[in-house]
């Protein structure tokens, strides 16, 4: 049953009834003055600037409960008239549970979720008004790029020069800004003609395929609002109260969407922290916070500054760090908690030692009776999790990786989903392409090329093209039979859907298509596991009303299944850790180039650096009792050793709140070092970073380095030579001291291609002519001065 906001049902139970039944809720108890103010200002625009650990979630929860309770009774506010937007599905789920808990009864029917899931819900009802059918497919980023690649093939665009992935990034960023192809064209700001053209074709193609990508969900809504003010009007009237969490991370499209919907009742409450804005790479605009007061004149602003989470040392260290950023709104966090431990900063020899150190600390904590679920390892990037996983496996410590490879990203699940998509939505070209030859049906490149050609020329989807072509001599008889058979199957399965449950249909599809047989007869070692996963998928689909809602769930909501019953150490990225808290937090990999990440600085200069710093701030403030920062002097990457400098953030932490263990050498760590760990003396053997030696010539186990950097201050000296952040955003960084940025005409050397001359420079990518090898495109970190 679709819930329609225009036709709000009467209450199942009358307000009077509930008043008697429910005990008087005490959710308002134990709030401090500011929190209470934020909770009770129900009407009118409200901006809550909530620092880390100030009870933001609590305020949101209580506010929602308060709304439902008071307005539900006095003004017959129905849950369906509340629009509550969170940043992640996890947060939405948590909110649902907490509000239910506070009220002592479950709340249903309200519009609670992420921007994308809410926009999708809204869009499905009006899809035909933006040129889609209501069963449109939502493409994941993989499919997006594949589709763009096809378009570029057809347009004969050199994908070496313009990688589809990169162009898709540009297009998505336009969508983040709320710019449709037409709007991009009008806009003077963007000069990239090629990308504009591709964007237009891409959107046309999406319409033919009856598909929308992530950005479209919001963008189509905006178009809908613009072209059909009467529809917008009805939603505006419906949503009497709007709540937004993590407001600092909304992008322009989301902001426009919100503003459009909140403009009539103006009961909008946004909660955010400018110091925790870490998604500008995804188009988020911190400026939305500043704009709030001008959009909603007379808006009330409440600041939450009392931190309930962290010890004073942790709080002070994080606060000091974030002051290195300019242009903050400025908050002063304070706490009443007792002084706890200082923030630990540990320098180690290499990544392995770092993992060992963290492992030891975790073991030590466990032996004190502290549960593993109170500990987290927060890394900058996904690939860093592996070292820690390996170490924890060796130690036998249970852990879980949040945001790792997802269930539905597995090959067999994606294949099965492609079958479901084809059944649910006959025009899904990408799904068709994926499974047309899985299991093998003899349909190869040549055949597909013919189909693509036809589908482009006629502006129809791939399956539609196939349907046309099997009736012609265009394809070989064998192909016609194979594809015709498959299309016939799909037709049959679709008809079957009308009479049979979709669970049974899915089983039939997987069976009759030969897909399960393919794995059953497969000799691959993980084939049985894949069959298991398929079974799981079949059982999961049973919980949904129809295939479309299942597919939407998979692409927008579905999260990794985690059995939370066991005590486990959490490993995740800093981004994923936003909004969470742990007693003991490990923050490894604080090295220049890793964190702050090189790419962030290359692409956005000082702005990028500040965002990285906010990320560091988020990391430290996740900790309640202890934060341990660590950095390694060397990292082995693909069997090659690379030396690294400690992150500048390490230096920015205030000494009075930090305990640095690297200064006295590693041997002093806790007074005991496991056999094989590097002692103080080994620290002296550090390779000299100032030398112009290629990184791979180091052998950290050979001990051939020179004694050089034993004294304090060397970091600064080396860094001055090496890193050069220019104010306008141009950054250059390299581990060899003499080179700054390469320019055209420079003589350089590549470890494989030998000497060469720079022919062209594009960011950190160089086009170099190598003698006897030819012209190559390489990244400048692989280049040494000639």
List residues near DNA by CB under 7 A: 87-89, 114-117, 141, 214, 278, 281-282, 380-383, 403, 437, 440, 442-447, 479, 556, 573, 575-576, 597, 599-600, 603, 637-640, 642, 765, 776-779, 781-782
Judged by CB, which is closer to DNA: 599, or 738?
Answer: 599
Judged by CB, which is closer to DNA: 286, or 304?
Answer: 286
508 labeled binding residue: no
Judged by CB, which is closer to DNA: 396, or 477?
Answer: 477
Judged by CB, which is closer to DNA: 37, or 468?
Answer: 468
Classify burial at 25, counting beta carbons within 10 Å of its beta carbon; exposed 0-12, middle 13-18, buried 19 or more.
middle
Query: Known catalytic residue: 622?
Result: yes
- Smallest separation (angstroms) from DNA to the CB of 136: 17
- Smallest separation (angstroms) from DNA to the CB of 72: 28
Judged by CB, which is closer to DNA: 176, or 361?
Answer: 176
340 labeled binding residue: no
**Cis peptide upstream of residue 293 (ω within 30 degrees of 0):** no
- Smallest separation (angstroms) from DNA to the CB of 664: 31
- Smallest separation (angstroms) from DNA to the CB of 641: 10
Would you say 278 and 378 are in contact if contact means Cβ atoms under 8 Å apart?
no
- Can you tell me whether residue 124 is helix, strand or coil? helix
Written as six digits, the tokens of 703 are 């001990």
DSSP 50-106: E-TTS-HHHHHHHHHHHIIIIIHHHS---GGGEEEEESSHHHHHHHHHHHHHHHTS-
Catalytic residue among 34, 216, 246, 682: 246
Question: Torsion angle of alpha carbons 417, 421, 423, 426, nearest 10°?
Answer: -150
57 labeled binding residue: yes
- Can you tell me whether residue 344 is helix, strand or coil? strand
Query: Known catalytic residue: 57?
Result: yes
Task: Give the other-Cβ count within 10 Å of 649's Cβ.
Answer: 26
Q: What is the C-alpha end-to-end distance of the chain, expressed in Å?
A: 70
With tokens 């004294």, the residue in question is 711
The H-assigned helical ranges of 470-597 are 477-499, 502-512, 515-520, 527-541, 547-552, 574-577
The H-assigned helical ranges of 398-437 are 411-424, 429-435
Task: Give the other-Cβ count within 10 Å of 167's Cβ.
Answer: 23
- Smallest separation (angstroms) from DNA to the CB of 515: 15
- Smallest separation (angstroms) from DNA to the CB of 588: 14
- Smallest separation (angstroms) from DNA to the CB of 113: 8
Query: Known catalytic residue: 415?
Result: no
Residue 31 CA to residue 33 CA, distance in Å, equals 7
Judged by CB, which is closer to DNA: 78, or 441?
Answer: 441
Query: Known catalytic residue: 93?
Result: no
With tokens 């700001």, the residue in question is 189
- Smallest separation (angstroms) from DNA to the CB of 438: 10
Catalytic residue among 223, 248, 276, 385: 276
Catalytic residue among 245, 352, 428, 612: 245
Residue 125 CA to residue 238 CA, distance in Å, equals 15
Long-range contacts of 102-108 (CB under 8 A, 24+ apart): 102/25, 102/27, 102/61, 102/62, 102/65, 103/22, 103/25, 103/27, 103/65, 103/68, 103/69, 104/22, 104/23, 104/25, 105/18, 105/22, 107/68, 107/79, 108/79
Looking at the chain, how many residues does it have? Answer: 786
Classify burial at 733, counting beta carbons within 10 Å of its beta carbon; exposed 0-12, middle 13-18, buried 19 or more.
buried
- Smallest separation (angstroms) from DNA to the CB of 71: 27
Would you say 240 and 81 are in contact if contact means Cβ atoms under 8 Å apart?
yes
- Smallest separation (angstroms) from DNA to the CB of 160: 8
Judged by CB, which is closer to DNA: 261, or 304?
Answer: 261
51 labeled binding residue: yes
775 labeled binding residue: no
Catalytic residue among 63, 205, 456, 622: 622
Would you say 541 and 550 are in contact if contact means Cβ atoms under 8 Å apart?
yes
- Smallest separation (angstroms) from DNA to the CB of 597: 4
Would you say 31 and 62 are in contact if contact means Cβ atoms under 8 Å apart?
yes
Using alpha carbons, list the distances in angstroms from residue 585 to 350, 612, 649. 20, 18, 17
Task: Give the other-Cβ count within 10 Å of 595's Cβ.
Answer: 28
Would you say 65 and 318 are in contact if contact means Cβ atoms under 8 Å apart?
no
Residue 646 CA to residue 635 CA, distance in Å, equals 12
Q: Among candidates 152, 367, 391, 164, which has minimal Cα distance to 377? A: 391
Judged by CB, which is closer to DNA: 6, or 383?
Answer: 383
50 labeled binding residue: yes
Judged by CB, which is closer to DNA: 344, or 753?
Answer: 753
Judged by CB, which is closer to DNA: 141, or 192?
Answer: 141
Q: Among candidates 399, 372, 375, which has minimal Cα distance to 387? A: 399
431 labeled binding residue: no
Bridge partners of residue 111, in order along the sequence = 83
Judged by CB, which is closer to DNA: 169, or 665?
Answer: 169
Written as six digits, the tokens of 348 are 């180690």
What residues have CB less than 8 Å from 245, skipping those under 6 apart?
A: 56, 60, 84, 85, 86, 87, 91, 95, 271, 272
Query: Known catalytic residue: 499?
Result: no
- Smallest separation (angstroms) from DNA to the CB of 395: 22
Residue 170 CA to residue 189 CA, distance in Å, equals 13
Query: Known catalytic residue: 640?
Result: no
52 labeled binding residue: yes
With tokens 């763009």, the residue in question is 148
Judged by CB, which is closer to DNA: 214, or 292?
Answer: 214
Binding residues are 50-57
Q: What residues act catalytically?
A: 56-57, 245-246, 276, 622
Binding residues for ATP are 50-57
């Amino acid at each position: 049953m679709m819930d329609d906001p225009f036709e709000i049902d009467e209450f199942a139970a009358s307000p009077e009834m509930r008043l008697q039944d429910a005990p008087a809720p005490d959710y308002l108890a134990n709030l401090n003055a500011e929190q209470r103010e934020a909770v009770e200002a129900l009407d009118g625009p409200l901006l809550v600037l909530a620092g880390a650990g100030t009870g933001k979630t609590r305020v949101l929860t209580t506010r929602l409960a308060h709304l439902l309770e008071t307005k539900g009774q006095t003004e017959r506010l129905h849950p369906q008239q509340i629009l509550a937007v969170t940043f992640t599905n996890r947060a939405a789920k948590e909110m649902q549970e907490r509000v239910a808990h506070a009220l002592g009864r479950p709340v249903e029917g309200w519009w609670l979720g992420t921007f994308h899931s809410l926009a999708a819900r809204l869009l499905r009802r009006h899809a035909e008004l933006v040129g889609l059918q209501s069963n449109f497919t939502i493409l994941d980023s993989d499919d997006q790029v594949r589709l763009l690649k096809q378009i570029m093939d057809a347009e004969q665009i050199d994908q070496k020069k313009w990688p589809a992935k990169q162009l898709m990034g540009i297009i998505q960023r336009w969508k983040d800004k709320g710019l449709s192809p037409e709007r991009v064209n009008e806009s003077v700001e963007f000069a990239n003609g090629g990308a504009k053209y591709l964007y237009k074709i891409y959107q046309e193609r999406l319409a033919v395929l009856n598909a929308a990508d992530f950005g479209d969900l919001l963008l189509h809504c905006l178009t809908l609002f613009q072209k059909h003010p009467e529809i917008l009007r009805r939603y505006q009237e419906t949503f009497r109260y709007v709540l937004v969490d993590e407001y600092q991370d909304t992008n322009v499209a989301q902001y426009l969407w919100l503003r459009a919907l909140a403009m009539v009742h103006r009961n909008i409450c946004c909660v955010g922290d400018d110091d925790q804005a870490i998604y500008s790479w995804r188009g988020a605009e911190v400026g939305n916070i500043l704009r709030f007061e001008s959009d909603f004149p007379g808006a009330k602003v409440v600041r939450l500054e009392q931190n309930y989470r962290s010890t004073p040392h942790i709080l002070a260290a994080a606060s000091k760090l974030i002051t290195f950023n300019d242009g903050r709104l400025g908050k002063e966090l304070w706490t009443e908690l007792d002084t706890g431990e200082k923030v630990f900063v540990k320098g180690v020899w290499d990544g392995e030692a770092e993992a060992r150190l963290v492992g030891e600390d975790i073991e030590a904590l466990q032996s004190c009776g502290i549960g593993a679920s109170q500990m987290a390892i927060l890394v900058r990037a996904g690939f860093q999790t592996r070292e820690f996983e390996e170490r924890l496996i060796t130690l036998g410590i249970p852990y879980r990786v949040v945001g790792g490879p997802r269930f539905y990203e597995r090959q067999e699940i994606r294949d099965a989903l492609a079958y479901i998509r084809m059944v649910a939505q006959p025009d899904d070209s990408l799904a068709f392409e994926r499974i047309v030859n899985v299991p093998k049906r003899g349909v190869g490149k040549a055949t597909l090329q013919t189909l693509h050609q036809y589908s482009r020329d006629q502006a129809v989807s791939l399956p539609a093209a196939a349907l046309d072509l099997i009736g012609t001599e265009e394809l070989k008889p064998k192909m016609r039979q194979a594809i015709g058979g498959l299309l016939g199957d799909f037709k049959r399965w679709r008809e079957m859907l009308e009479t049979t449950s979709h669970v049974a249909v899915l089983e039939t599809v997987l069976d009759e298509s030969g897909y399960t047989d393919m794995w059953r007869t497969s000799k691959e070692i993980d084939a049985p596991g894949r069959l298991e996963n398929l079974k799981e998928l079949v059982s999961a689909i049973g919980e949904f009303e129809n295939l479309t809602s299942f597919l939407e769930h998979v692409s927008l909501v579905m999260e990794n299944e985690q059995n939370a019953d066991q005590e486990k150490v959490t490993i995740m990225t800093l981004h994923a850790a936003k909004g969470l808290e742990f007693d003991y937090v490990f923050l490894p990999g604080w090295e220049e180039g890793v964190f702050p990440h090189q790419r962030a600085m290359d692409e956005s200069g000082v702005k990028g650096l500040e965002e990285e710093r906010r990320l560091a701030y988020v990391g430290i403030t996740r900790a309640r009792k202890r934060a341990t920062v660590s950095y390694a002097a060397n990292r082995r990457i693909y069997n090659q050793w690379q030396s690294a400098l400690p992150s500048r953030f390490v230096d920015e932490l205030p000494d009075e709140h930090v305990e640095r263990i690297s200064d006295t050498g590693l041997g002093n760590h806790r007074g005991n070092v496991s056999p094989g760990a590097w002692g103080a003396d080994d620290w002296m053997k550090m390779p000299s970073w100032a030398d112009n030696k290629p990184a791979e010539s180091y052998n950290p186990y050979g001990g051939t380095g020179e004694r050089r950097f034993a004294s304090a201050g060397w970091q600064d000296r080396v860094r001055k030579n090496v890193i050069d952040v220019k104010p306008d955003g141009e950054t250059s960084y390299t581990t060899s001291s003499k080179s700054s940025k390469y320019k055209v005409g420079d003589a350089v050397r590549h470890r494989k291609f030998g000497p060469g001359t720079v022919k062209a420079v594009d960011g950190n990518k160089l086009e170099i002519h190598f003698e006897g090898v030819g012209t190559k495109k390489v990244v400048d970190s692989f280049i040494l001065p000639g």
